[in-house]
Each structure stands twice: as C-alpha cells, then as structure tokens.
Amino acid sequence: MKLNTRAQSAQHPHNNSPIVLVHGLFGSLDNLGVLARDLTRDHDIIQVDMRNHGVSPRSPEMNYPAMAQDLLDTLDAHQLPKATFIGHSMGGKAVMALTALAPERIDQLVAIDIAPVDYQVRRHDEIFAAINAVNEARVATRQQAAAVMRELIDEEGVIQFLLKSFVDGEWRFNVPVLWDQYEHIVGWSPVPAWDKPALFVRGGNSPYVTEAYRDALLTQFPQARAHVIAGAGHWVHAEKPDAVLRAIRRYLTDSAS
C-alpha cells in the first residue's frame, strides 16, 4: 500500500540515515512533528499516515505484518535502500514487525512507549465511545466535538490529540476497521531476534513498558537499551520532547554503523 507521506530534506545535509517517523493509533503524520522539527536539522525526514489513518488508503486489514509491508513499500516509493525508523505506540510495533520482514532495510530503530507483546487489554473503549458519540451527534466543528467528548473523556490532552483528526465533520481515521481489528492492534506475534542496538523510550508513568515485559522484549531485541523519561505518560514525546530528543540523538550517535 502506498502511504501518504510528508518528506523534508535535511537543513544541513550530513551523511546521516534518513528517518521515517511512524505515529500511533488514532494519529496522523503530524503527531511526531515535534521530533521532525528537530531531527530535520541533519536528517532527511519522512512522516507517514498509517493505513486507515490520515489520508492514507483504507483497508479492512489492520495487523502488523500488513503495516510493516506498508513501511517497506514507502521505502521503495522513496527509493531508499534503508532508513532509521522511530515509531510511537502502534507505530513502534509496526517498525518492530519490519525487523521480521526486511531487517536489512532498517538502520536504527527507536520504539516510543511500546513493547513487543500482546497486551490483552482494551485501553481505548472510552475513546471509541467518545468518537461514536461525536458521530451520533452529527456535529461539524472541533469545538462542538470537544463538548461531546468531554462527557466521556476527562483527559483534555487526549481530546485535543483526537480532534487533530476531526476535519470538516469527519474523522480522518477509519473507525469501524480500527474497532473490528482492535485485537490485532493491541496483539503481537513475536519476531525473530534483531541483533542491532534498539532504543526503547518509555514514560515513567506509563503502563505500556514495564518490568513484566522485559524478558519478551530482550528475547526479540537482545541489544535493546531502555531510557525512562520521569514524569511522563504514554504520549511521552508530546509531554517531554526535549528529553526524548536527547535520548534519541544520543542513541543515533552511539549506534551509528
């Protein structure tokens, strides 16, 4: 699948690997913009809308092998032999799945607040309820949609994040498919060990990367290093962008091949 992308050339060209930024569930290519704005100083950057998100194509299939293939197709479309991949949440899992499909196409890998595990938890039912309430209310503006959502979601940051994908009275993500395929999105099939250094950045307050997942993570990514950002939750890059960028830049420098 040819994903919708936004490409930016490095402001100060170096011989650095291009970076592909991959957003999470309910997101779009704008979500990692805070990282793109910094990293584009010395890296070519490609931001993607994942399938069933943003203005990328729709599909009834929403699983990690399919999403990894989309990323591979994106590399081919941009004629890139390999790239560094930075993915948040669902995007991090899509990047990890790419290590099984085409390990030779990945230079460096950063997963933000996600582990390679089947979570077996439904953390988004409240969000789906709020999205469906907006649909039923037939509202047209973000202001009206926010008022509906506040009845069901008490985290204003989450509401504002979701509203970025509410355009002209329509959601930019494919709600029925995301609901139908949700178990695949929270799920995971283990990948063969990837033998390069990988960086796992996690929010200190987030439940997504904990000691319970350590063994599963190290089995699949034996050279993984973890970096905990204190005082941050799941959207760690939005809450503490400077700290996340410092960790990413250190890793990119230390593990450059």
Q: CB-based contacts of 178: which residues, under 8 Å, 6+ apart? A: 25, 26, 52, 62, 128, 185
Q: Report residue 229 as tokens.
A: 């950002």
Rounded Cα distance between 100 and 97, Å, is: 6
**Which pair of structure tokens corresponds to residue 205?**
């307050």
Give the sheet arrangement for strand 83-88, strand by strand: 5-8, 45-48, 19-22, 83-88, 106-112, 198-203, 224-229
Annotated active-site residue in 88, 227, 234, 237: 234
Q: Which two tokens stand for residue 50?
A: 């994942």
Of 89, 165, 227, 237, catalytic:
89
89: annotated active-site residue = yes
Report the distance separating Cα 40 and Cα 95, nearest Å: 20
Task: Give yes or no: 234 in active site.
Answer: yes
Active-site residues, by number, are: 89, 234
